A = this chain, B = another copy of it.
């Protein structure tokens, strides 16, 4: 009997999970998923956690529970420190894992364009920890404004800056607009949350650049209705605890959220392969690393091209399709079949602005408004992994929609200790 081939999947995001799901029923394989977190995260809804609409557990589920009945799939909570391409080994703090095939699906990191000290003043949105930190900052700003009578201080606390006009930035800014206009409107006595100042800053000429210019314009109008000022062609040159410098202007703001740059996954730096400007690994048409046909790189960690030789965007559907493709390739390899190049099937793109409008672009079809929002809602709930989460999110949303309530308005402190106050 031939020994089982060992597949290591690094990363339990959309790419990694879908690769493992495609392989899980193949009896000739031993599959190991390594991730430094215990949960798979439905990242497209992470902004809802940051904006107190959903609880973390509603968009996350333990990776191991996704594979509990599949005895040939193991999951380890371990941070991968190195991929040794030559000796075909993955190194972690918990030991080494030898592989026959390796799938790298580590995603991407936020990038502050070299200014990593900005992070403390402007958290990014990639993890649950960051989302609850954003939530804490946004809710605390309203609380602080309420407890002072100083008008200038109130203005400082009630100014929110979102840097980056892509889908995440638009979703964050729109959600802050909604919270202040509808959710919190009756909750405060000294301040009028409706007067909150929200500024969305985009370095390019328009927001939502991956969409049609007409949709960008409509999204811009929708944001303005929610009280968001959209500043395009504006570049942030400094972020400090007092606010943001944009061109020659200083914006005094307590809360700054970062939705701008995407940088390389930490692990990528140790892998000796050609990369693009964002640090993504340039892979072969079959998604393998150049010169290493048994190591694949997918999702946000990889630089891949569509039919017109344009780079594919960092979206969940790309990672999902690539994960499945790699899974099929490995099975094909075992059967001795030829490898097929990866082709992305573009199902379109969606971004939501508040709770009843969205932009949608599917091929030539463009849509804006309530219909696009319904499509957005349906797609997101449908794709949420796990039945329970799907139902919970649906109920949460239905309730949220009817009542304007936000159920997860918790300010959670950083320290849990009572007798060691560093909070």
Contacts and interface: CB of A to CB of B under 8 A. Distances in A.
A399 interface: yes
A388 B77 CA distance: 34
A55 interface: yes
A187 B416 contact: no
A38 interface: yes
A179 B61 CA distance: 16
Contacts of A382: none
A143 interface: yes
Interface stretch (A122-130, A209-217, A219-227, A298-306): A122-130
A123 B418 CA distance: 9
Nearest to A139: B38
Interface stretch (A1-9, A336-344, A360-368, A407-415): A407-415
B57 A116 contact: no
Interface stretch (A63-71, A155-163, A235-243, A314-322): A63-71
Contacts of A392: 392, 395-396, 407
A71 B189 contact: yes
B116 A412 contact: no
Interface in A384-417: 388-389, 391-392, 395-396, 399, 403, 405, 407-417
Nearest to A149: B95
A81 interface: no
B413 A129 contact: yes
Interface of A: 37-39, 55-58, 60-62, 64-65, 68-69, 71, 74, 76-78, 94-95, 109-110, 112, 116, 119-120, 123-124, 126-130, 132-133, 139-140, 143-144, 146-148, 186-189, 388-389, 391-392, 395-396, 399, 403, 405, 407-420
